[in-house]
Every structure is written in C-alpha cells, then in structure tokens.
Structure 1
Amino acid sequence: MTKKWWHDKVAYQIYPKSFLDTNDDGIGDLRGIISKLDYLKELGIDIIWLSPVYESPFVDQGYDISDYYKIAEVFGSMDEFDELLSEAKKRDMYIIMDLVVNHCSDQHEWFQKALADPYGEYGDYFYFRKGKDGNPPSNYRSYFGGSTWEKVDGTKDLYYLHLFAKEQPDLNWENETVRNKIYEMVNWWLDKGVAGFRIDAIINIKKVLSFPSYEPDGIDGLVSCTKMIDEAEGVGTFLEELKNHTFAKKDAFTVGEVFNMKPDELKEFIGENGHFSTMFDFSAQELDLASHGWYDVKPVGFKEWRDTIFASQLEMLDIGFKANIIENHDEPRGASRYLPDHAKNDAGKKMLAATSLLLRGLPFLYQGQEIGMTNCKRNDISEYDDINTIDQYQLALDAGCSKEEALHACYMNSRDNARTPMQWENSPNAGFSSHKPWLAINPNYTVINVADQQSDRNSVLNFYKKLIRLRKSPEYKECFTYGGFTPVFTECDDIFAYLRTLEESHLQILVAANYGTKAQTLHLPSKMQEMLLSNMVCESELSDVLRLDSCQVVVVRLKGND
C-alpha cells in the first residue's frame, strides 16, 4: 500500500450549529470552532470535518445549499473561515468541508432560473418530467417520505425530482455543464486551503433516466427511491471524472458517504486508485434499518453487531481503509445505540471507544462522543427540529402506534439525538451559549460535560486522550495504522476481541472487551508482555490467562515469536 499523508490521522466531525455559540444567538458559529482548536488538538485530533456552513435556508440543516461560494451569516463570515483555516494550519490540523452535490436548495439561483423556464438552459440542470395520467412520473418515495416528484406551480403536469426534501431538487449530473460548474466550485475551495471533503449522498447522482415505476413496498403505494438508484449503472464514470478534475490535483483527502454500493465495487471506490481516499463503514449502522420505519426497528444482538464489524474489517485488508464511526450527525448516539443496558455507564463508554478506535482504518469521532454524550428524551414531537424525525413520527402514528410509542422510536433513532448542543460545562445552557439554544440541551449536561471530565483523570474524555495517544505513539503507530487484523475468541459469548499485528517487527497487540454481565477468562495465544491500556484496574498477572470483568476492555502487547 502506498502510504498517504492521512493514513495515521484521527478525524473529528463538528456540527457547527451545535458546537459553540460565541455571538449569543443560540446557534454555534465559526468563532466558536476557532476558540476550541486547542481543545481538539489536546484530544489528539488531526482532521476536522465541518458539516455544511454554506449559505442555506436550513430546511435540512444546511444540506440544502443556496450558494456554494458563501458562508451562511449565522455561522460567520468568509474572513472567519479563512482564519479557521489559518489557525488550524498553525496546529498541523486539516479542515475538510461537506460536499453536497447530489442536490442543492430550491433557493439556489440555478433552480430559480429553471422554474422560470423549465425547458430552457437551466431546466436541464435538474430533472423535470411530465406526469402520467394525472399522477407523478413514477412512484418513488423520497428519503424523507412522500413522493420524490413535486409538481411545478402553474403547470398542468410538470414535476421535478427530489430524492430528499422537496426543497432539495436533484442536480442533473448527465449535464456536462453542471458537472464542470461543480468541479470549478470544488477547486475553488481546494485553492482556498481546504484539505478535502466529506462527500454527501454521492451514490444518488446516477439515475435510471427512464424513471420506471416499481411494485410498491408500502401502504402509501410508493417504493423506496433506492430501488431505482440500485439499478442505475455507471456512477463510477462520474466519480472518476470528479476525482481527476479536482481531488487528485491537490492530493486531497476524501471520505464518501456511500450506501447502495454493489458488492464488487469496493476496490473501485477506495482501493489504491479508488474514487475516494476512504468511505464510512456503515455496516453496523445498517443492521437496524427497518423495512417500514423507525417504529419497527428490531434490536441488534451483540454477536451480529460484532461479527458484522469483523467481516467489514477482513474485507478491507487487501483493498484499503474504511473510516470507522460510532455515531455522526445522521445517527443516534453510539453509547445509547450499541451498549447493552448494563454497560450504559463510563466503563461501557470507554470499552466502546477502545474497541472502535483501534480497528484498522481511520477513526472518526463525532462531537460529544469523547465525553459520552447520549440520546435525549423529548416529551412532544414539537421539541424535535429534524425533518426526517417529524416524518418518521407521523409514519409511526399512521401505522397505529400510540404517541408514546412514536416518541420512543424517535428517542431511539432521531438524528436530533446527535444534534443537541455540545455539553461544555455544568452551567446554564451547558456553556454552549448565553442565549436559548436553537435545540434544547440534553438535561444530563449537569453530569456529562467537558469541564468536569477535564479535571477527572478517570473520565471518559481522558480515556479517549490516552487511547488516541496510544494509537499515535511512535512504538505502536505503524501497527495500529498498517498492521493486520485478526478476530479472536469469536466463540465466546459477549467477547469483542481482535489482534493487531505487524509481522516484520513480530508485534502482536490484543484488544479485548467483555460486553457481558459476568466475568470471563480468556486463554491467550501467548503470554502478555505489557498492559498498554485498561478502563479498569487490571488484576491479571502478565501470563497467558486474562480475566475480564463485565464492561472491561484491555489493550495488551503479547510476546512475539522472536
């Protein structure tokens, strides 16, 4: 494998609206991010991914972009963004932007011109189609519910396509002019000093242009739009052109949000010369996708979760790196999602951290993960802001769920769980703002916050710091970055264990955790040489027998064969 500058880095996602407010409007801003760069540096972060900060009406929290060349005023100015780039560079840190180019906002100049003349030049920047027999052109359900086709006001039967919200019209990637304008914009940001991009919903850019209808998969008479996306051929041609016209020129780091990828395409996406540097490993997140909605999500067992992660790791060994996540802005909190009830405590959060961050691949932390932030209970749907959550709540009610059952589904699955403001202090509004926050703070900020954990050497935050330091340490960085991965003790219930190995130096490191309720004893393949890290006081002697208490994780160097 050709070594790249980003291979040994640790990344951190910031949701700017919820990170830190410095101008007292209840909304996070660029100045808040700048003020916390030293905090992130001390944590061990190298790459910072910003969720969208472009100009936007915020129908979908900034993922509906009305001007790709402007910073939304609510976040600050372009001068402040340039200052962020400069201050990050001083600390040897890298800023990557969120690239949202499957769709734009309906307020974007292009779409406004398209609406004025759907059959003109700008009309071909989007997908306008005539309906059929008084109905939309086809029966696709959007990612946010309802038809993907929105009727154009003032017309008899003309519709435009939106796979997400109706305010997010899909861009027509078949149009070469559109593609070139996108490449021009990407290069503008790269020239400014951005180190790369997280690439949003990119698999959706390739459509089946005949837009056929399919057998409905729900009582609404619609079918998931992914059915059409799955059948589209040739997305790789677009992605390779995008890379060659932009990223490759600057050795930029790119991480794709890729769903619906065909099984044999992995090497094309993130191999040695793949479309992207890496892509998120969503294999665990996809386990609890419901066939109808959040209301019928089934719990995922430990073994299925563990084995899915292991399979994904093994799949990548001869291909490249994936980006490993526990949570992000579109997912509920990992501590609430993956830990069994008995492990929803500090020990369990540290255990989850270690088993994730030492996997092969690039670790991505999400803001608040490092202090163990959790899902947030709400009393009414009016307390949620997320468009997807509101849709899923109504879907649950339509399916016969009670209000309480529908709210519980939102508590377990809502994207707003990760969007509650960052919990900095045990003070009003958690130190996030002196103004009422745009989204209510999780009440547990009084016991889960940065300030308290900074002063507690046994805190979740300080464990994350130790964990990242270990991953980056001169003695073990090569092993944790490029070393092999071998699952072990898979026959043991509730044990999550694997070896990271570096053959040339005979280095073997065991990461082992007990997700069960009872202590377990493991007979190791060789004697322990050194205990590198544990989330508990470890009573095991350096022998070939390891005793793990419930919720305990250890990182152990084993004696090599030399």
Structure 2
Amino acid sequence: MKRKWWHDKVAYQIYPKSFLDTNGDGIGDLKGIISKLDYLKELGIDIIWLSPVYESPFVDQGYDISDYYKIAEQFGTMDDFDTLVAEMKKRGMHLIMDLVVNHCSDKHEWFQKALADPDGPYAGYFYFREGKDGKAPSNYRSYFGGSAWTKVPGTNKYYLHTFAKEQPDLNWENPVVRKKIYEMINWWFEKGISGFRIDAIINIKKNLDFPSFPADGDDGLVSCDKMLASAHGIGTFLEEMKHETFDKYDAFTVGEVFHLKEDELREFIGEDGHFSTKFDFSAHVLSYGEHGWYDAPALDFNRWRTALFDTQKADLTVGFEANIIENHDEPRGATHYLPAHARNEAGVKMLAATYFLLRGIPFIYQGQEIGMTNCVRNDISEYDDISTKDQYQAALNAGCSKEAALHACYENSRDNARTPMQWDNSLHGGFTTGTPWLAENPNYTKINVTDQLNRPDSVLSFYKELIALRKAPEYVETFTYGTFAAAYEDVDHMFAYYRTNEETGQRILVAGNFGTDTVTLPLEKPADRVLLTNGKTADVILTRNRESASLVLGSCDCVVLLLGQ
C-alpha cells in the first residue's frame, strides 16, 4: 500500500453553528474556531472537517448552498476564513471543507435563472421533467418526507429534489454543470485547504427514466433510494472529478457513502479509489426503523459488534475506513451505543478506546471528547432540524402518542449533536453571551471542557491519552498499518480485537466489557505492558503464572494490552 500523508492522522469535525460564538449573536463563528485551535492541537487533532460555512438560507443548516464562493455572514468573512487556514498551517493542521454538490439551494443564481426560464439553458442544470396526468413524473419520497418532485410555477414541469424542496438536485449529466463544480473545488484548494468531506455523493447518478416503483408507505410514495439504486455508472463521474480536482492537490477526501455493494469497495477506497476513505456507517444503519424513528429497533450489541468487525475484515486488503461513533447527522454515541448501566465516564472511555483503535482514520465529533449526550426536549417546537420535525409528524400519523414521538426524537434526532458545545459551567455553557440558536443541553454544568481540563481522570484526559497512544512512535505502525482480528467473540458483550504488526510481530489487544458481569479472559500470551485503561478499577487485574495468563475485566472496564512475543 502506498503510504499517504493522512494515514496516521486524527480528524475532528466542527459544526460551526454550535462550536463557539464570539459576537453574542447566538451562532458560532470562524473567530470562535480560530480561538480554540490550541485546544484542538493539544488534544492531538491533525485534520479539521468544517461543516458548511457557505452562504445559505439554512433550510437544512447550511447544506443548502446559495453561493459556493461566499462565507455566510453568520460565520464571519472570507478574511476570517483565510486567517483560519493560515493559523492551522502554523500549527501543522489540515482543513477539509464540506463538499455539497448533489444539490444546491433554490436561492442559488442557477436555480433562480432556471425558474425564470424553464425551457432555457439553466433548466438543464437541474432535473426538470414534465408531469404525468396532472401529477408528478414519478412517485418518489424525499428524505425529508413528501414528494421528491415540486411543480415549477406556471408550467406542467416538476423539478427533482431528493432532500427538501429548497434543495434542487444538480444535473451531473450536464458537462457544463460538472465543469463549474470542478472550477469551484479547485478555487477552494487554491485557498489552501487539504481536502473535502463529500456529502450525499451517491445521489449524483440518477436513473434518467425516473420510473415509478411500488409504494412502500401509506402515502403512495417510495423512497427515492429505490430510484438511485437502479442507476448505474456513477464511477465515471467520480473518476472525472478526482482527475480534474483531487489528484492535482494530493487531497484527503472522505465520502459519505451508503449501501455500497461488496464488489464496489475497492473502486471507492482502494489504492486508486475515487476517495481516500469513506465513513463506516455499518453501525448507524442498524438503527433504521422500517417506517421511521418511531419503530427503530433498540441497539443490539451483537449486531453492532458484528457490523463493525465485518467492515474491518472487508477493508483489510482494500483500504482505510473513516471510523466514527457520531457526527452532525447522528445522535450522540455516549447515549446511542452505551447500555444504561454504562452511561457514565467509564463507559464513555470504554466506547472511545474500542472504536478509536480500529484500523482506519478516527474521526471525533465536537463534544464527543468530553462525553456530550443526547438532550431531552419537552416539545417538538424546541427542535430546529427539518428531518426531526418530519419524523415527529410521521410518528404521530402512525398513531404514536406525543410522548412516544418525542422519545423517538430524543433517541434519534440530529439536533442531539447540534446543541452548543459545552465549554464551561457559565450561562449557556460558555458557548455564547447571547441567546443560542438552539438551546444547550442542561447537563453542561456537569459535562464541560473546563471541568475536564482540570481532572486527570476525565473523559477529555482519556481522549488525549488515547490519541497520544495511537501516535506514539513505538506503536504508530501497528495502529496505522497493522492487521485487525476479532477476539473473544464468544464472550457475551465483549468488544475485543487484536492489532498486529506483521513485520515486527508486535501484537496489541484492545478489549472492553460492555456487560454487567465481571469476565475473565484467557490471554494467548502474557501481557508485556498495560498501555491504557479507563481507570474504572485499580487499573486492570492481570493474573499470570507459568502455565497461563488471564485478564479480568469488570463491567465497563477497558484495556489496551501489549502482548508478549
């Protein structure tokens, strides 16, 4: 495998609107990010993924872009952005932007021109199609509910939007559109960024016949995923984009890619793949309900462990995955992936260690490093997310009570990850001196950065140790390029695996006990050294004699062991 500059790096996602507000308007800004670069550097972060800061009406929190070349005034100015890039470079850090090119905002100049002349050239930048029998061209449901087709005023034409109606899909079949997108991408590279996280990229290839499919709901509609799954040839677009942009700048690119077929993995993240890496969503998709959040299944530990381990095994001879336990579109990992008995600092540390040392590029989402949790809301009006409001209504329509519908939102809402960053125990968690755009989680008085900076046994301190261990000269080769092998899969609620450097023979065991009972694990070899524990007990009890060696893990204990050779 060719070695790349990003292979041994640790990434951190910033959701700018909720990170830190410096002007009191209740919205985070670029100056807030700049002021915390030393905090992130000390944590051990190499790459920052910045969620969208482009000009936008914020129907979908900035993922509806009205001008790809401007910074939204809520976040600051282009000078602020240039300062951010410069300050990061001083610290040896890399910035990657969010690339949102499946769709734009309906306020974008291109779409406004298309509406003004539905038969003109700009209509060809989008998917304008004639209706059928006074109805939409086909029966697709958008991701945010309702038809994926909206009528163009004064015509019999409809435009396609797989997300909100304010997010018209761009027509990638049009070479002029592709050329303009590539020009924009390269413009940002010239400003000094190092790559992109690429949003909803699988959606860019459509089945141009736009056939209807059998409905999968009482609304007579079918998920737009059905149409997308019937499309073929996306690789041609992705390879062209890579050749025209990413390859020219030795860029780090991470794709938001769902539902890959097994034989497509190498095409996407192999040595010459479309992207450097992609996010592993194998765990996230386990929480999908058949009809929505209201019938989403509870997390099953064995299914979760198997999903992650299967991804690791599939990647071994192919490439690197980007490993996450949360992001701006998911609930908090400390709530979602931990059973009730483990929702404490020991459990959060255990979850951190077991995911972070998997093979691949670890991503941390803001607040994850202090164990931020889901947030209870008392009414749907307290949520801001378009998807949450749609899912709440879907639950009510299915006969759920208000309480049950709200609980589904508590479990699954994207707003769980979007509550303001909890910096200290002052008003609004130190996020703003004004009124935050989204109310903070009330537990900021107990879970915040300032408190944890002052405690050597805190979650934040543990993350620093964890990152330092992954980068330590003695172990970086094993954690970066070492193989993965599952361990103790027959032990109930045990999340354990080996990372092995096949050249040196160095072998490291990572193990976490997600159950309630103490477990004794026979070790294949005596341990040379305890590299890290979550400190729940007096380290970890190791027993050793001439004949055998074993490891004793209590509930929520985790350990990283260097095994003897």
Task: Provide the TM-score with structure 2 as the length reference.
Answer: 0.98
The alignment partner of 2:415 has SS state of helix
In structure 1, the partner of 2:49 is 49
Distance 1:314 1:269 in 2: 16
Tell me the distance in 2 between the aligned counterparts of 1:539 and 1:49.
35
C-alpha displacement of 1:506: 1.4
Aligned to 2:130: 130
8 Å contact from structure 2 (residues 43, 464) kept in 1: yes
Q: SS in structure 2 opposite 1:24?
A: coil
Does 1:535 pair with 2:540? Answer: no
Matches within 5 A, 1:168-207: 168-207=167-206
Give the counterpart letter for 2:339 in structure 1: P
Aligned counterpart, 1:36: 36
Give SS of 1:430's match. helix
Spell out, residue by residue over 1:139-170, the C-alpha distance to the aligned partner (whole angstroms, 9 max, x if none): 00000000000011122x21100000000000
Is residue 139–residue 221 contact of structure 2 (8 Å, CA) maintained in 1? Answer: yes
The offset of 1:542, in angstroms, is 5.9
SS of the residue 1:504 aligns to: coil
Equivalenced residues, count: 559
Question: Partners in 2 of 1:30 and 1:73 — Cα distance?
Answer: 10
Matched, 1:292 2:291: yes
- For 2:362, what is the secondary structure of its paired residue? strand
Instruction: Give 3-state SS (helix, strand or coil) of 1:153's partner.
Output: coil
Alpha carbons 2:6, 2:252 under 8 Å: kept: yes
Hey, what does 2:370 align to over in structure 1? 371
The question of 1:148 aligning with 2:153 is answered: no
Once residues 214 and 516 of structure 2 are traced to their aligned partners in structure 1, the CA distance between those partners, rounded to angstroms, is: 46
Specify the code of the residue in structure 1 equivalent to 2:180: K
Report the Cα distance in structure 2 between the residues aligned to 1:259 and 1:237, rounded to whole angstroms: 18
Match of residue 112 from structure 1: 112
Partner of 1:214: 213
C-alpha separation in 2, matches of 1:369 and 1:541: 30
Deviation at 1:541, TM superposition (A): 3.3
Q: Is the 8 A contact 2:141 2:221 kept in 1?
A: yes
Measure, in 2, the Cα distance between the counterparts of 1:350 and 1:261: 31
Query: Post-superposition shift, 1:288?
Result: 1.3
In 1: Cα distance, 2:543 partner to 2:108 partner? 63
> What SS does the corresponding residue of 1:265 show, helix, strand or coil?
helix
- SS at structure 2 position matched to 1:322: strand
Letter in 1 for 2:523: L
Are 2:256 and 1:251 equivalent residues in the alignment? no
Which runs of structure 2 are paired with 1:503-518 in the superposition (5 Å)? 503-518=502-517
Counterpart CA distance in 2 for 1:38 and 1:357 is 22
Which residue is equivalent to 2:554?
549
Matches within 5 A, 1:22-421: 22-155=22-155, 157-421=156-420
Taking the aligned partners of 2:503 and 2:255, their CA distance within structure 1 comes to: 32
Q: CA deviation at 1:414?
A: 0.3
Deviations 1:88-111 (A, max 9, x none): 000000000000000000000000
Are the counterparts in 1 of residues 277 and 322 from structure 2 also a CA contact under 8 Å? yes
Query: Is the contact made by 1:529 and 1:542 (CA closer than 8 Å) also made in structure 2?
Result: no
Give the letter aligned to residue 46 of structure 1: D
Rounded to whole Å, the distance in 2 between the matches of 1:277 and 1:192 is: 21
Indicate yes or no: 2:489 matched with 1:484: no
Task: Give, in angstroms, the shift of residue 262 of structure 1.
Answer: 2.4
Partner of 1:17: 17
Is the 2:149–2:161 contact (alpha carbons within 8 Å) kept by the matching residues of 1? yes
Distance 1:374 1:441 in 2: 11
Task: Write out the 4+ residue segments of structure 1 that deviate beyond 3 Å after TM superposition.
Answer: none
In structure 2, how many angstroms separate the alpha carbons of the residues matched to 1:522 and 1:535?
18
- CA distance in structure 2 between the aligned counterparts of 1:117 and 1:474, rounded to whole angstroms: 61
* Superposed displacement of residue 533, structure 1: 0.4
CA distance in 2, matches of 1:509, 1:258: 30
Superposition pairs of residues 424-443 of structure 1, within 5 angstroms? 424-443=423-442
CA RMSD of aligned residues (A): 0.6
Aligned partners of 1:504, 1:399: CA distance in 2, in Å? 57
In the alignment, the residues of structure 2 paired with residue 542 and residue 180 of structure 1 have an alpha-carbon distance, to the nearest angstrom, of: 64
- Counterpart-to-counterpart distance in 1, 2:255 and 2:307: 20
TM-score (norm 1): 0.99
Residues 244-263 of structure 1 show CA distances to partners (whole Å, capped at 9, x for unaligned) of: 00000000000000013222
- SS of structure 1 residue aligned to 2:313: helix
Residue type of the partner of 1:496?
A: F
Output the CA distance in 1 between the equivalents of 2:50 and 2:427: 26
Q: Check the 8 A contact 2:540/2:559 in 1, yes or no.
A: no
Give the whole-Å Cα distance in 1 for the aligned partners of 2:169 and 2:300. 37
TM-fit CA distance, 1:349: 0.1
Distance in structure 2 (CA, Å) of the matches to 1:457 and 1:542: 27
**2:26–2:436 contact (8 Å) kept in structure 1:** yes
Deviation at 1:483, TM superposition (A): 0.3
Alignment correspondent of 1:422 = 421
User: Which residue in 1 is equivalent to 2:563?
Assistant: 558
Counterpart-to-counterpart distance in 2, 1:529 and 1:542: 12
Identity of matched residues, %: 70
For 2:383 and 2:207, the matched residues in 1 are separated by: 35
Query: What secondary structure sits across from 1:481 in the alignment?
Result: helix
User: Deviation of residue 538 (structure 1)?
Assistant: 2.0
Is this contact kept in 2: 1:144–1:391, CA < 8 A? yes
Amino acid of the structure 1 residue aligned with 2:26: G
1:291 Cα deviation after fit: 1.4
Q: Distance in 2 between matches of 1:513 and 1:419?
A: 28
Cα deviations across residues 511-554 of structure 1 (Å, max 9, x unaligned)? 01100001000001100000000012224236321000100000
Partner AA of 1:409 in structure 2 = A
How far apart, CA to CA, are the structure 2 residues paired with 1:557 and 1:437?
Answer: 46
Distance 1:82 1:547, change over 3 A: same
Distance in structure 2 (CA, Å) of the matches to 1:199 and 1:540: 44
Cross-structure match for 1:466: 465
Q: How far is 1:138 from its partner? A: 0.2
Distance 1:91 1:187 in 2: 24
- 8 Å contact kept, 1:496–1:513: yes
Shift in Å, 1:468:
0.3
Q: Deviations over 1:66-121 (max 9, x none)?
A: 00000000000000000000000000000000000000000000000000111111
Kept in 1: contact 2:533–2:540 (CA 8 A): no
Residue 484 of structure 2: SS of its match in structure 1?
strand
* Alpha-carbon distance in 2 for matches of 1:178, 1:490: 49
1:233 aligned counterpart, secondary structure: coil
3-state secondary structure, aligned to 2:197? strand
Contact conserved, 1:13 with 1:328, CA < 8 A, in 2?
yes
